[in-house]
Amino acid sequence: MAKIQIPRGTQDIMPGTVELWHYVEAKARDLCRRYNYHEIRTPLFEHTELFQRGVGETTDIVEKEMYSVTNPRSSDELTLRPEGTAGVVRAYVEHKLYGSPNQPVKLYYLGPMFRHERPQAGRYRQFVQFGVEAIGSSDPAIDAEVIAVAIRLYQELGLTGLSVELNSVGTVEDRANHRTHLLAHLNGVRTQLCGDCQSRIDRNPLRVLDCKNEKCRSLTKDAPSILDYLSEESAAHFEAVQKYLTALNIPFTVNPRLVRGLDYYTLTAFEIKMAEIGAVETLCGGGRYNGLVAELGGEDMPGIGFALSIERLLLALEKQGIQLPITSGIDCYLVIQTPEAKDQAFILLDQLRQAGVSAEMDYLDRKMKAQLKAADRLAARYTAIIGETELANGTVVLKEMATGEQRELAASELVNALAASDKK
């Protein structure tokens, strides 16, 4: 019978690697604690309409990348979440978080997303996103804070060579003023653009500037910039965001072509990049989505957030040769010299674990030499040996593996001895 293999675009995260994930996730959670962001967990699947309305029907995500099914018992269409913001905003509206006394509402999420993309280094069809959302404030200072959360995470993990690209995509009114001039330029080169860009011209022309096709980028390099059509208020907001980033010593460059790939963005849009990770150089992206809460049925509340891929973050760490301080090994391995000692060892094993000591014993009835090799493979700090003599005397021989030093002590003292050594 043929083996069943893992689906394309997914991965098994195995012991030895998953510890890296634990470390990064713990760092992200601690950063959110310091910035007063609170975790929210939304369903892995939502009604498809949420993403059509929230992300935008003209986006690549909705047009090409979603995993959707029809509920067999109804006509409901459900979609595995391709991104986190729409679900968080849906929950914000559904649970009336706009009425919370703690405003703005500051949330973060950490979990799997699903997109049918072409797999490549750092990009999977099932991937894990960490993201934050701050809903309820138009203050440009919170735009800078959100960007700071992302950049500080990378910095605290040791990454260097990061670049922040910043733009303002304006308000709906700003984009309407810009649209006429942009269309005039795009219609002049329409037939030379790729098929995707030709279809976007009439539906969402600003997204043509987001195309990664080099020919399209060349044809649109002189297109009118949205920055030239910002209202006085929008321009002031963008200037203030830059001022706050400068105050936080976060370097950035203004990129007028940066529009991001989602329809809900307004005003601030940003990406964090690192060229060393290859073709997929964007580590993180985000921006404001004033109007999204209202679009999903809530009060008209402003919001801003970002999302980053944990897979891409780990790839960046690998590319820069950064070793995370992962601890491995166990505290104690119980070595059984005689079958009669197994019952005593099994009881001691449970006592050690209840006392917070990581411990293991042999379950394969191996000889003492093989058990000691197993202790080495597990990087045990100590072995506790129980043979006929020890069993008869109610003792164990405790051996420190690094030095070879050993001593005999009462079995009843083992737990306290190892618990005390674990605290040193």
- Number of helices (H), then strands (E), belonging to the chain: the values are 15, 16
Tell me: pLDDT of 349 over 70: yes
* Of residues 41, 258, 83, 294, the one with CA closest to residue 170: 258
For 134-174, write each residue's pLDDT tens digit: 999 999 999 999 999 999 999 999 999 999 999 999 998 98
**For 20-24, 218-222, 331-335, 358-362, which range has the lowest pLDDT when averaged over its residues?**
218-222
Strands 359-361 and 382-386: unpaired
Hey, which residues does 291 pair with through a beta bridge?
none
Specify the fold of 332-422. Rossmann fold (3.40.50)
* Of residues 49, 84, 50, 51, the one with CA closest to residue 65: 51
Q: Where in the chain are the domains?
A: 18-171+231-319, 332-422
What per-residue confidence (pLDDT) applies to 422? 65
Local confidence band at 56 (pLDDT 50, 70, 90 cut-offs): confident
The answer to whether residues 398 and 359 touch, using CB atoms and an 8 Å cutoff, is: no
* Of residues 355, 357, 352, 349, the one with CA closest to residue 329: 357
Instruction: Report d(CA 87, CA 244) in Å as an integer.
Output: 29
For 365-410, write each residue's pLDDT tens digit: 999 999 999 999 999 999 999 999 999 999 999 999 999 999 999 9
What per-residue confidence (pLDDT) applies to 224? 85
Task: Indicate the pTM of the whole model.
Answer: 0.89
Q: Record the tokens describing residue 45, joined without a space.
A: 């699947």
Instruction: Report d(CA 304, CA 226) in Å as an integer.
Output: 19
What per-residue confidence (pLDDT) applies to 212? 76
How much of the chain exceeds pLDDT 90, in percent? 71
Instruction: Report d(CA 317, CA 315) in Å as an integer.
Output: 5
How much of the chain exceeds pLDDT 70, in percent? 97
* Of residues 122, 171, 145, 384, the one with CA closest to residue 241: 145
**Domain 18-171+231-319 class, CATH top level:** alpha beta
Using CB atoms within 10 Å of the CB of residue 329, give its burial: 0 to 12 exposed, 13 to 18 middle, 19+ buried.
middle
Local confidence band at 263 (pLDDT 50, 70, 90 cut-offs): low
The answer to whether residues 123 and 104 touch, using CB atoms and an 8 Å cutoff, is: no
Whole-number average pLDDT of the chain: 91
Local confidence band at 424 (pLDDT 50, 70, 90 cut-offs): low
For 248-309, where are the alpha helices, taking DSSP H only? 292-295
**For 169-183, 286-300, 356-370, which range has the lowest pLDDT when averaged over its residues?**
169-183
Residue whose entry in the numeric block shows the structure tokens 């006085």: 232
Local confidence band at 355 (pLDDT 50, 70, 90 cut-offs): very high
Q: Record the tokens describing residue 105, joined without a space.
A: 């509402």
What per-residue confidence (pLDDT) applies to 423? 59
Instruction: Report d(CA 265, CA 171) in Å as an integer.
Output: 9
Instruction: Report d(CA 269, CA 222) in Å as an integer.
Output: 20
Q: Record the tokens describing residue 4, joined without a space.
A: 């069943």
Tell me: pLDDT of 421 over 80: no
Local confidence band at 179 (pLDDT 50, 70, 90 cut-offs): confident
Local confidence band at 129 (pLDDT 50, 70, 90 cut-offs): very high
Instruction: Report d(CA 226, CA 175) in Å as an integer.
Output: 7
| Non-local CB neighbours of 127 within 8 Å, separated by 6+ positions | 112, 113, 114, 115, 309, 310, 311
